[in-house]
Chains A and B, each alone.
Chain A
Amino acid sequence: DGGITQSPKYLFRKEGQNVTLSCEQNLNHDAMYWYRQDPGQGLRLIYYSQIVNDFQKGDIAEGYSVSREKKESFPLTVTSAQKNPTAFYLCASSIATPQETQYFGPGTRLLVL
């Protein structure tokens, strides 16, 4: 079955710690995205990548970093500079540009200890 997987489902971060959220897709999509979801605020774009080895900042990139070394993988690191990281993080992919349908993973909920 083709799809997007995210791991872990829940992640706990200690103060000052960097944590990495995994996102893998086997849909052969070129574009991948990371969104942050907070109650009542919809989805906000953190980073996106349209092709391997290239990515751009979204609306709320501060305190986050990404890499895109393989077409299938787009990990997100939440750094210690992100002071309010508690949220639901969603990874998505699309064939190419955002006018195409985006396919979402099941999400990772990040909590701060």
Chain B
Amino acid sequence: AQSVTQLGSHVSVSEGALVLLRCNYSSSVPPYLFWYVQYPNQGLQLLLKYTSAATLVKGINGFEAEFKKSETSFHLTKPSAHMSDAAEYFCAVWPTGGFKTIFGAGTRLFVKA
């Protein structure tokens, strides 16, 4: 079965530090991959999306993610954390030919001043 694993339910960084949120997926064929962000008591919004056009995907708010097929990973990074980045981040995969998007359990990012 297809699955998405986000390593670390909570990640804490200092303001200005590198943000790294990990995501691994299982899929027999290259899937579509997404990162969504959710602020407290709100819906999700798309940060970025991988559709096989390029392995390094740039998103909004300075985030980017790199698709590594050999590692089945799609980790999210941002060079310098800002207080406004504090939120919950979800990695998601749409297995090619599937009928639904599969979401990871989420990683809550805390940013310390």
Contact = CB atoms under 8 A, between A and B. Distances in A.
Contacts of B41: 106-107, 109
**Secondary structure of the B side of the interface?**
loop
A4 B43 CA distance: 10
Interface residues of A, number: 25
A106 B100 contact: no
Contacts of A53: none
Interface string A20-38: 0000000000000001000
Contact of A56 (B42, B94, B98, B99): B99
26 contacts: A6-B43, A40-B105, A40-B106, A41-B105, A42-B90, A42-B103, A42-B104, A45-B100, A48-B99, A56-B99, A59-B100, A92-B44, A97-B99, A98-B99, A99-B32, A99-B51, A99-B94, A99-B96, A101-B34, A101-B46, A101-B49, A104-B36, A105-B43, A106-B42, A106-B43, A109-B41
Interface of A: 4, 6, 35, 40-43, 45, 48, 56, 58-59, 90, 92, 97-99, 101-107, 109
